[in-house]
Structure 1
Amino acid sequence: MTSQSVEIAAPPEAVWSVIADIHNAANVISGIKEIQVLEEPTGPGIVGLKWKETREWMGKDAVEVMWITDASDPSFYETRAESHGCIYQSRLQLEPGQAGTRLAMTFDCQPETFGARVMWFLTGWMAKKAVGKMIAQDLNDLKVAIERSTSP
């Protein structure tokens, strides 16, 4: 599991409005090349939103289908993707503070097939490092966009 956080000089509601706007994520997060929404939520909130995300991963375009499995506005949301014999889960968590909001992201990869377990054993260290860099960049992009939109 990989986890990182960033302090954002904005209230949780302002942070939530940006991180929950998956439709606009490619305009905020530099690593995302394209978002294609596949399914809108059937009820209130964002649970059930499903999309195809294209981003650069280790020098190549990687396309993953992701969906929101759980959420509590404006506290957190969790996503899931299943690809290449693995289950990927992430969580964005907001914690209010005196100077704004702490936004934390955790990411976990669970290899499910024999082939995925072998690949994870051989290259997992490299993937963890790349994921850590990706999370740090995503969080920084979010911080910049949110603070820019909330500054007077």
Structure 2
Amino acid sequence: MKLAIEETIAAPIQLVFELFTDLPHAAEHVESIQSLEVIGKGPIGKGTRFRETRVMFGKEATEEMEITAFDPPRSYRVEGISCGVQYTTVYRFEGGQRETKVSMETTSRPLTLVARVTGPILGLMMKGAMRKAMAQDHAELKRVAEDRVAAMAEASDDDGMAQRG
């Protein structure tokens, strides 16, 4: 199964990349994430493992994932295994100082016989709901990024007035 979505965010690429990879604060920015625990210490990057608990299809689910590629601010890849299926999600960021296009592509590959047999049926049933959930996550991150840009612009305007006054 393959799932792809895109979102354009009115914010600089560096800010958007940092927001999307801000794992310690993910639950504050994305409503469906109940908690996210980074496993280990050090900066977020290739090799970072984390345990995410979110509500999916009305139930709480916890998955362990790992960042397997990290190229700030252009892309990163996250992989995990759940229910006999390997999931790979690649995020790509394109843009500059005013706008960033975020592309996300998730692919799944069955690893067990059960997953190979049930995968096509479950994939068809879940694809729409997964697309909707991922689009909602992106919309929430977009709101946070654009709110930060607006706050920075307002602070800059306030500083300019204070200096002139």
Query: Normalised by the shorter chain, which TM-score bucket?
Result: over 0.9
**Secondary structure in 2 matching 1:94:** strand
Identity %: 32
Segments of 5+ residues of structure 2 without an aligned counterpart are 154-165
Q: Stretches of 4+ moved more than 4 A in 1?
A: none
Residue aligning to 1:79: 78
For the residues of structure 2 that align with 1:39 and 1:105, how far apart are their CA atoms?
A: 26
Q: Is the CA contact (8 Å cut-off) linking 1:86 and 1:112 kept in structure 2?
A: yes
Deviation (angstroms), 1:150 = 1.3
In the TM superposition, residue 97 of structure 1 has moved relative to its aligned partner by: 5.5
2: CA distance, partners of 1:83 / 1:124 = 14
Equivalent position amino acid for 1:123 in 2: L
Structural mapping, 1:1-16, within 5 Å: 1-16=2-17
Residue 28 of structure 1: aligned partner: 29
RMSD of the alignment, in Å?
1.5
Count of residues paired in the alignment:
150
How far is the alpha carbon of 1:40 from its aligned partner?
A: 3.5
Instruction: Tell me the residue number matched to 1:40.
Output: 41
**Any residues of structure 2 matched to 1:66-145 within 5 Å, and which?**
66-96=65-95, 99-145=98-144
- Structure 2 length-normalised TM: 0.86
Query: Which one has the largest radius of gyration?
Result: 2
Instruction: State the SS of the aligned residue for 1:121.
Output: helix
Q: How far did 1:39 drift?
A: 2.5
Distance 1:65 1:98 in 2: 33
Residue 46 of structure 1: how far off its partner (Å): 0.9
Code of the aligned partner of 1:132 = R
Tell me the distance in 2 between the aligned counterparts of 1:94 and 1:29. 19
Amino acid at match of 1:53: E
- Structure number having the greater strand percentage: 1
Equivalences for residues 53-72 of structure 1 within 5 A: 53-72=52-71
How far apart, in 1, do the equivalents of 2:143 and 2:104 lie?
16
8 A contact 2:11–2:97 mirrored in 1: no
1:87 shift after superposition:
0.2
Distance apart, 1:37 and its partner CA: 1.2
TM-score when scaled to structure 1? 0.93
Structure in which a larger fraction of residues adopt helix: 2
- CA–CA distance in 2 between the matches of 1:141 and 1:45? 21
Structure 1 residue 126: Cα displacement: 1.2
Distance 1:107 1:99 in 2: 27
